[in-house]
């Protein structure tokens, strides 16, 4: 059994851990750290429920080794709200009813967060492309797209 010592930043906090080399980032977050907001849907990189930000970019945590993240920065759904304040995206997902069963929601919000971090004026196509790797079985995506558009508009309004 091969194990490694890793040091990484998770939601702004420095974390030291010993991990098995074959442990995925997803299982590390869920089972070792109890951060169960990141969901397990397929374990094959095909559903996006496990999306987290790795150094700011959206990745499938099921296709990432925990040990691979040594020295890097990971943001999960639990890391978005600060001081009890939801992000505009989280609020818009609530307001627009952009979720039903909610199982894809954390991953969906992480992908959308990554988009809005770099593109404050996304077109509808750009939004759909940003969430192309996040499957949703309930909503038909329409309300999700609408919530992301509304969050972008809100952020632009805040900038202005």
Partner 1 sequence: MHKDCAKTYFKKPEFYRLTGENNYVRIDAEDKVTGHGQYVGDIMFPDMLTGRMVRAPFAPARILSIDTSEAEKLPGVKCILTPKDFEWKHKVGNGEFAAEFADKEVLCTEIVRQVGDDICAVAAIDEETAQRAVDLIKVEYEKLPGVYDPFEAMEEGAPEVNWEGKGLHNIGMQSHMCAGTDIDEEFNNASYIQHRDYSTHRMVHAAMEPHGAVATYRNGTYNIWMSTQMAYVDQFWYAKCLGVPENHVRVIKPLVGGGFGGKLDSYSFGLCAAKMAELTQRPVRMILTREEVFQTTRNRHPIYMHIDTAFAENGKMLAKKCYHVLDGGPYGGSGVAACAQATLWANFPYKLNSVDFLARRVYTNNPAAGAMRGYTACQVHFAHDLNMQYAADQMGIDPVEFRKISAADPGYVAPAGLHITSCAYKETLDTAAKEIGWYERKDKMKDGEGIGFAGTGFVSGTGFAVLEAPNQSSACVQVRLNKRGMCTLYIGSHDIGQGSDTVMTAIVAEELGLPMDMVKTFMSDTFLTPWDSGSYGSRVTFLAGNAARRAAVDAKRQLFETIAPIWGVMPETLECLEGKVISKEKAELQMPIGDAMFKYMTIHGGDELVGVGSYYHRTDNSQYNGENTTNYAPAYSFSTGAAHLTVDKETGVLDIDEFVFAHDCGRALNRRAVEGQLEGSIGMGLGYAVYEHNITKEGKILNPNFRDYRFPTALDMPKMRTFYDFTPDEEGPLGAKEAGEGSAAPVAPAIANAVNMATGVYFTSLPLDPEHIWRAMNGMEDDRHSK
Partner 2 sequence: MVLPQFEYIAASSLEEACKLLLEHDGKAKVMAGATDLIPPMRDKVFTAEYVIDLKKIPGLDELSYDEKEGLKIGALTTLRTLEHSPLVKEKNPAVAYAAKVIASTQIRAKGTLVGNICNASPSNDSAPNLLAQGAKVNVQGVDGTRVIPIEEFFLGVRRTALKPGEIVTSVVIPPLAEDEKAAYMKFAVRKAMDLAIIGVAAKIKMKDGVCTDARVALGAVAVTPILAPAAAAELIGKKLTDEVIDKAAEAAMNSCSPISDIRASKEYRKEMVRVFTKRAVKQCLEQY
Decide if residue 76 touches partner 2 (CB under 8 A).
Answer: no
Find residue 18's DSSP bridge partners. 5
Q: Which does 63 bind (CB under 5 to 8 A by kind): partner 1, partner 2, none?
A: partner 2
Decide if residue 78 touches partner 2 (CB under 8 A).
Answer: no
Long-range Cβ contacts of 80-84 (<8 Å, 24+ apart): 80/109, 80/113
Q: Closer to partner 1 at the Cβ: 71 or 110?
A: 110
Could you tell me the smallest distance in angstroms from the CB atom of residue 160 to partner 1?
A: 25
User: Contact letters (x/-) for partner 1, 44-83, by CB under 8 A?
Assistant: x-xx-x--------------------------xxx-xx--
Could you tell me the smallest distance in angstroms from the CB atom of residue 24 to partner 2?
A: 7
Decide if residue 38 touches partner 2 (CB under 8 A).
Answer: no
Closest C-alpha to 26, from 6, 40, 11, 46? 40
Cβ count near 133 (within 10 Å): 17
Could you tell me the smallest distance in angstroms from the CB atom of residue 51 to partner 2?
A: 6
With 0-12 / 13-18 / 19 or more C-beta atoms within 10 angstroms meaning exposed / middle / buried, residue 83 is exposed
CA dist., res. 15 & res. 35, Å (int): 13
């Amino acid at each position: 059994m091969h194990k490694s010592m890793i040091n990484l930043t998770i939601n702004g906090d420095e974390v030291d851990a010993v991990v098995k080399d074959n442990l995925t980032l997803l299982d590390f977050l869920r089972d070792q750290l109890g951060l169960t907001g990141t969901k397990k849907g397929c374990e094959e990189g095909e559903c996006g429920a496990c999306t987290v930000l790795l150094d700011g970019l959206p990745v499938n945590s099921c296709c990432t080794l925990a040990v691979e993240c040594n020295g890097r920065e990971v943001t999960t759904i639990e890391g978005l709200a600060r001081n009890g304040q939801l992000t505009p995206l989280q609020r818009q997902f609530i307001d627009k009813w952009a979720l039903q069963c909610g199982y894809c929601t954390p991953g969906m919000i992480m992908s959308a967060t990554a988009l809005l971090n770099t593109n404050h004026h996304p077109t509808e196509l750009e939004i759909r492309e940003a969430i192309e790797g996040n499957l949703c079985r309930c909503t038909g995506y329409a309300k999700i797209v609408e919530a992301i558009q509304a969050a972008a508009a809100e952020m632009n309004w805040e900038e202005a």
